[in-house]
Structure 1
Amino acid sequence: MANRATQRLTDTPADIVQAAEILRAGGLVAFPTETVYGLGANARDTDAVRAIYAAKGRPAKNPLIVHVADLDGARRVAVFDDCAEALAQAFWPGPLTLVLPLRPEAGIAAEVTAGQASVALRMPAHPVAQAILRASGLALAAPSANPSGAVSPTTAAHVLEGLSGRIDAVVDGGACPVGVESTIVGLLDAPVLLRPGGLPSEAVEACLGVPLARPGADPALPLAPGQLASHYAPRAALRLNAGRARAGEVLLGFGPVTGAAANLSPAGDLAEAAANLFACLRALDATGAAAIAVSPIPETGLGLAINDRLRRAAAPRG
């Protein structure tokens, strides 16, 4: 796509208004959420949504999440049943995405849903994301603001490393506090965990009173983002559940380990580890190391999301 000058905006009211104007005019604006930076476009503007795919180099079969400012806006896009209402009341705004039946009259561009009859929806909690949504008056399609398959961005600088010259603006709202993408729950039938993320799945199960199914994703027709086998990948190869680094590797530690070039959380805190994950992968990748060895991380709470991202980052690349 043609090169364009990418503005770096602040989170001041005047710059929020400018970001909203760019979005209403069909432009692309990256902005912080509590999870990672998203690349936003008007979800009802086909050309704008296509521009997201072009800027990211994203496969057209991989659907996007629609971000809304409030529950009324969400109900105009999708059909909410009792489970959806319960989860929205409990966890929105926050790092939870719901996959629900799309309202045909909602006017969402077909490219957002990859032509499917369902839509992924979330209401972000970050004040900058909320301010942009309200100032624009739009539902925003917004995947992570990085080249497709690469490490997700948790700062404005990360966004510019990957997309400068390919998008209109990035709004700098500081580092994202959660650091991994939203948890995605499908509610088209029995509740299904489609992607672990920034809201522990145990909290969702406690709210619903039933366990979440965990079926394997169909890579040919993903219902939601983050289901492709290879994703979130640095240039360096990854080796998981490593006790120590081998020759030619650098160690990404978790907990009180020795010899780590970087540590997700020396105290073994999963929330701290999630917040640091993508920044640590980027920093170690920037050293030029051929491979990154990663300490074992528990498969509970936010550890599910961390390990999911690490497994996809370590997967063979197409």
Structure 2
Amino acid sequence: METKIFKPTEIDAAAKAIRDGQLVAFPTETVYGLGADATNETAVKQVYMAKGRPSDNPLIVHVTGIDTVEQYAQPLSATAKKLIKAFWPGSLTLIFKLQPGKLSAAVTGGLNTAAFRNPDNQVTLDLIRAAGVPLVGPSANTSGKPSPTLAKHVYHDLNGKIAGILDDGPTEVGVESTVLDMSTDLPTILRPGAVTEEELTAVIGNVRSSHHRVGAKEVPKAPGMKYKHYAPNAQVTIVDREADWSAAMDWASHQAGTIGVMATDSILAELTLPNNIETYSLGANLDSASHQLFAGLRYFDLESPVTGILAQGFPDDGLGAAYMNRLNKSAGQVHFEK
């Protein structure tokens, strides 16, 4: 199959491919998603095949607003409606209990819940409206690899496996949406993202964060809870403290191959770099680092291969919770030790 690159002016052609049961990657403000008609079970199953994704890993359903959610979910609470009003369109995914038989088990992983999101990207909202159906949309990458923030990342992983990619340039946020489970008594964050716990609390009061480890035979309620994620080819090691970077450079200087360094400009400016170091700037601060994280990991996979990667850690709060969630999974929890 030839994977076509659709321009934003070619939404009707991309929508036709969706209606025909084909797969089209689409842009969101977070990362690129792999789109298929959420009401077409055959098309949904092709998403798993194209990504190499385990079939018990549920998919997020992308919609243009609350009306579509109400067609599938059980009646929404006042709290849910507050969240939708405050954060949609945007980087918040909400899990609701479903009306029986409304969505295929291929979408839900066999659960009685499903995750819904209204993405903040006009091109994709136009695509969903033109297709006339909600779209499943896991990240448009090979399962386990860093999420794609550019169309070329999608093309690298899925060329020949999907019908097309709707290219709207680089994504704005760079880490996936926050996933909030609304099917429990107390709203529970299953995956931190661009919408922070503090922002959620300001709208609806108390929420909790889940640190539950999903068992081998357990079906996760949300993406990213069970399987390996975000890993480049090289081993990532997290450097947590600014004071540790000098020792990290000494360690790198004794490695046989090239070592990648991902850090903010202020860190990079202070380092004495060994000859075997290749750097990638994470920008000025946590905001830019979150935006650049996946692009940096992809850079060291696709454009400047290395044998190891040293990546800057940040405090695990606010947006840092989302950044460190992704970075820890990318590194397999490996942190630099003197």
Sort the TM-score into its range (normalised by shorter chain): over 0.9
CA distance in 2, matches of 1:316, 1:299: 14
The whole-number CA distance in structure 2 between the counterparts of 1:209 and 1:231 is 31
1:283 partnered with 2:281: no
Aligned partner of 2:312 in structure 1 is: 295
Alpha-carbon separation, structure 2, partners of 1:172 and 1:44 = 24
- The offset of 1:38, in angstroms, is 0.4
SS of residue matched to 1:257:
helix
- Is 1:273 matched with 2:289? yes
Give the equivalent residue in structure 1 for 2:161: 166
1:16 to 11, 18, 36: 11
Find runs of 4+ consecutive structure 1 residues off by over 3 angstroms. none
Confirm whether residue 206 of structure 1 aligns to residue 199 of structure 2: no
CA distance in 2, matches of 1:217, 1:140: 28
- Which residue of the partner structure matches residue 192 of structure 1? 188
| Equivalence for 2:226 | 228
Q: Secondary structure at the match of 2:300?
A: helix
Moved more, 193-202 or 41-50: 193-202
TM-score by structure 2 length?
A: 0.88
Alignment CA distance shift 1:213-1:299 (3 Å)? closer
Structure 2: runs of 5 or more not aligned: 272-277
Query: Which deviates more from structure 2 when the two are superposed, residues 280-289 or residues 158-167?
Result: 280-289
Distance 1:298 1:229 in 2: 24
Distance 1:215 1:301 in 2: 16
CA RMSD of aligned residues (A): 1.6
Q: Deviations over 1:152-180 (max 9, x none)?
A: 00111110000000000001101000111
Of residues 209, 212, 215, the one that matches 1:216 is: 212
Q: Whole-Å Cα distance in 1 between the matches of residues 192 and 309 of structure 2?
A: 23
Confirm or deny that 1:116 pairs with 2:132. no
Paired AA for residue 104 in structure 2 = A
SS in 1 for 2:239: coil
Aligned sequence identity (%):
40
Counterpart for residue 261 of structure 1? 279
Deviates further, 78-87 or 109-118: 78-87
* 3-state SS of 1:276 partner: helix
Q: Is residue 156 from structure 1 mapped to residue 174 from structure 2 by the alignment?
A: no
Are 2:239 and 2:312, in contact at CA under 8 Å, matched by a contact in 1?
yes
Shift of 1:109: 1.7
Q: Which moved more, 1:185-194 or 1:161-170?
A: 185-194
Structure 1 length-normalised TM: 0.93
**Any conservation in 1 of the 2:189–2:207 contact (CA below 8 Å)?**
no
Q: What is the aligned partner in structure 2 of residue 141 from structure 1?
A: 136
With over 3 angstroms needed to count, the CA separation of the structure-2 counterparts of 1:316 and 1:302, relative to structure 1, is closer
Runs of at least 5 residues in structure 1 that lack an aligned partner in the other structure: none
